[in-house]
Structure formats: C-alpha cells, structure tokens
Amino acid sequence: MSYDLISPPPLNPESQPFWDAAAKGTFLIRHCPACDQAHWYPRTICPLCHQADTEWRESPGTGTIYTWTHMRKSPRGPFALAYLELDEGPRVYVQFRPEDSENLEIGKRARIMFHPVKDGAPMMFAELI
Ligand SMILES: [Zn+2]
C-alpha cells in the first residue's frame, strides 16, 4: 500500500481545527464539559448528553486495539483497519500504517499518528507502540 494512493478526507468548517492540528502532528478530540466525557468522531453536539458546548482538547492518541481486520482486496493494496480504544474512552476506527499491519493483536498498545497522503495532506493512521 502506498500512501500516495490515499485521498485526503474532505474538509468542512466543523473539522477544520482537527486537520489544522493534524498538519502539526497534534491529535485533537472533542470533550464535553457538561458530562466530562470525550467522544469520537468530533462533533459540536455531544452524542452522550446532547449539550452543544463541546470543546477541542489535545490528546496523546494512545490506546489499546479493541479489534482489527485486514482489507485484502483494495485498488490501493491490502491494509489493516482497527478500532483503537483511546485511553480517554472513545473507540476510533482507524487504518494502521502499513509497517504494522502484519503485527496487530487485540490488546496491543498503539497511538494515533499522521502521515502525508495524496497532495501532501495529513491523514490519520495508527501505529503500534
Ligand atoms: Zn456531554
């Protein structure tokens, strides 16, 4: 799998701060002060208590592999997808970087990282730690 074959995600005003931080290698998640919970995917309205005053918080992006699978048939080559359970609680559906895709196991530690893809835009991946 080549990083150059991956298209960057579409941007919108709600996700722009996330991708601006990603360009600097920083992982942000949304946190709700009303219920004191983090959630994924990022959205303004808390999916847990429906308050609309959630905020961005920097996260180390570390967590544990909850489950994973290999996508063996793809125009851009095989790759591995996983649910990474962040230490803050939310589970993130994320592609693992190719270097780690043959060494995944439930319970292994990993973290979110960013790598440039087509056109140099950052894309979120996970890597084993
Ligand atoms: Zn909430």
- In order along its 129 residues, the chain shows pLDDT tens digits of 678 888 888 888 889 999 999 999 999 999 999 999 999 999 999 999 999 999 999 999 999 999 999 998 888 788 999 999 999 999 999 999 989 988 999 999 999 999 999 888 899 999 999
Within a domain: 47: yes
CA of 123 to the centre of ligand 1 (A): 27
Compute CA 81 distance to the chain's CA centroid, rounded to the nearest angstrom. Answer: 11
What 8-state DSSP symbol labels residue 44? Answer: S
Cis peptide before 41 (omega within 30 of 0): yes
CA of 53 to the centre of ligand 1 (A): 9
- What is the domain-level CATH number for residue 60? 2.40.50.840
Both tokens assigned to 103? 């060494």
Output the CA–CA distances (angstroms, integers) from residue 71 to 1, 17, 101, in the order listed. 11, 30, 10
In angstroms, the first-to-last Cα distance of the chain is 21
CA of 41 to the centre of ligand 1 (A): 13
Within a domain: 20: yes
Q: Are 118 and 4 in contact (CB under 8 A)?
A: yes
Q: Give buried/exposed letters for 16-34 (b at 16+ CB in 10 A, else e).
A: eebbebbeeeebbbbbbee
Within a domain: 5: no
CA of 119 to the centre of ligand 1 (A): 36
pLDDT at 9: 84
CA of 40 to the centre of ligand 1 (A): 12
Within a domain: 6: no
Within a domain: 2: no
Nearest to 129 by CA among 57, 59, 64, 40: 64
Within a domain: 117: yes
Both tokens assigned to 45? 């309205």
CA of 125 to the centre of ligand 1 (A): 26
pLDDT at 97: 92
CA of 56 to the centre of ligand 1 (A): 13
- Please count the structural domains in the chain: 1
Within a domain: 81: yes
